[in-house]
């Protein structure tokens, strides 16, 4: 009898900014044996990340579209059950693109080993994975704030933003954190101890709230959101400010636009602003050193690894949708 496992497929393309539960269908698929160069992984944790939203818009203006009926994209970490690749053995913990499924037969070259003695394996999806690496390279390498300078971190209650806030504080910067709603803002003030918080969903107009939080302007802006926050921040940049754009989550939905347009060009010229687009994969040659440093700071208590955990494959659609609304603070994970 053929072994089966459960998966979540894309049933409908999403309309609106928050993808509804009806976009996904809980289904089963055969658990096949790995071919040469593949491994079979038991998926233990799934990472909730915004990028799959781009593949379910119904048009390919920003990213290739996932065909309907296909298992949803997604990063995960799990345990090797069977291996047809010499680099991986049975029982190894691995992380990579596994999809929203309970078992995944995938090419070995797309996986990385995870050391379970270094930290809990799920941290390989957050602080000791793409999120932590993005924060590390943005803050430590591309636009390191100087002591006393003001850094604005967007989506600051998420896994990238929370780590970026801590790294900037360790460098002596004045950290202003932008987040969505009272729960996220309280977390940033109470747990992370940032210097000021901007509530994007608050009653005060965003432009006024940002000016009050940054009375001396903004020297570094880490932007993973775009949209209205981007516009307000650009109005408050200091001469010589640095902007790192690593995401545009406000544009991922049906109503979003990928290109912010030319309206900031005069301001960029007048204030001699330096803007970098960021893709974490460009820094792959330095991943090992960066992860070692992040792990050291984590064990020393300098960095935190906040997480919000949901349970079971059935919980994935709601956990994913929360990314585009008022998610709980920390890295959004689903434990299978």
Residue 295 lies in a domain: no
Are residues 232 and 325 part of one domain?
no
295, pLDDT greater than 70:
yes
In a domain, residue 267? The reply is yes
Residue 287 lies in a domain: no
* Number of neighbouring beta carbons within 10 Å of residue 279: 9
The tokens 């069977």 sit on which residue?
A: 82
Is pTM beyond 0.85? Reply is yes
Residue 296 domain flag? no
Q: How confident is the model at residue 14 (pLDDT cuts 50, 70, 90)?
A: confident
In this structure, the dihedral spanned by the alpha carbons of residues 157, 162, 165 and 169, taken in order and rounded to 10 degrees, is 130
Are 93 and 142 part of one and the same domain?
no
Residues 310 and 269 in one domain: no
Ranking 55-64, 135-144, 155-164, 297-306 by mean pLDDT, the lowest is 55-64
Residue 294: inside a domain: no
Is the pLDDT confidence value at 198 over 60? yes
The answer to whether residue 297 sits within a structural domain is no
Q: Which of 91-95, 98-102, 208-212, 226-230 has the lowest mean pLDDT?
A: 226-230
Task: Give residue 105's pLDDT band: very low, low, confident or very high (50, 70, 90).
Answer: very high
Same domain, 172 and 247: yes
Residue 266 and residue 327 in one domain? no
Interhelix angle for 206-213 vs 227-234, to 10°?
50
CATH of the domain at 328: 3.90.180.10
pLDDT 10s digits, 231-249? 899 999 999 999 999 988 7
Residues 294-301: what's their mean pLDDT? 96
What is the distance between the terminal CA atoms of the chain, rounded to a whole angstrom?
24
Q: What is the mean pLDDT of the chain?
A: 92
| Structural domain count of the chain | 2
Q: Are residues 163 and 201 in the same domain?
A: yes
Local confidence band at 164 (pLDDT 50, 70, 90 cut-offs): very high
Q: Do 143 and 273 fall within a single domain?
A: yes
Domain that holds residue 187: 130-281
Which of 16-30, 71-85, 213-227, 277-291 is predicted with the least confidence, judged by mean pLDDT?
16-30
Q: What is the mean pLDDT of residues 180-196?
A: 94
> pLDDT digit string (tens) for 319-335?
999 988 777 899 999 99
Residue 261 and residue 179 share a domain = yes
Per-residue model confidence (pLDDT) at position 64:
81
């Amino acid at each position: 009898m053929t072994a089966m496992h459960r998966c979540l497929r894309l049933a409908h393309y999403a309309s609106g900014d928050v993808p509804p539960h009806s976009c996904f269908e809980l289904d089963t698929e055969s658990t096949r044996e790995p071919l040469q160069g593949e491994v079979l992984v038991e998926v233990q944790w799934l990472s909730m990340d915004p990028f799959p939203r781009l593949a379910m818009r119904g048009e390919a203006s920003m990213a290739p579209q996932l065909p309907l009926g296909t298992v949803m994209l997604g990063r995960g970490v799990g345990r090797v059950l069977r291996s047809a690749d010499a680099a991986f053995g049975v029982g190894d913990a691995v992380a990579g693109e596994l999809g929203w499924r309970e078992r995944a037969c995938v090419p070995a070259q797309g996986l990385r080993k995870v050391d379970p003695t270094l930290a809990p394996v799920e941290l390989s999806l957050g602080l000791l994975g793409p999120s932590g690496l993005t924060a590390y390279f943005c803050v430590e390498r591309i636009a390191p704030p100087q002591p006393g300078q003001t850094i604005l971190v967007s989506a600051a209650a998420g896994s990238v933003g929370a780590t970026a806030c801590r790294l900037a504080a360790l460098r002596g910067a004045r950290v202003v954190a932008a987040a969505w709603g009272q729960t996220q803002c309280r977390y940033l003030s109470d747990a992370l101890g940032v210097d000021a918080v901007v509530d994007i969903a608050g009653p005060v107009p965003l432009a006024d709230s940002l000016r009050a939080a940054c009375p001396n302007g903004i020297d570094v802006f880490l932007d993973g959101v775009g949209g209205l926050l981007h516009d307000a921040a650009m109005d408050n940049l200091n001469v010589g400010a640095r902007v790192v754009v690593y995401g545009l989550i406000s544009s991922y939905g049906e109503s979003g636009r990928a290109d912010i347009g030319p309206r900031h060009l005069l301001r960029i010229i007048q204030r001699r602003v330096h803007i970098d687009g960021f893709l974490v994969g460009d820094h792959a040659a330095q991943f090992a050193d960066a992860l070692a440093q992040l792990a050291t700071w984590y064990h020393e208590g300098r960095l935190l690894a906040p997480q919000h955990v949901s349970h079971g494959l059935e919980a994935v659609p709601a956990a994913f949708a929360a990314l585009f609304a008022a998610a709980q603070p920390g890295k959004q994970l689903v434990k299978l």
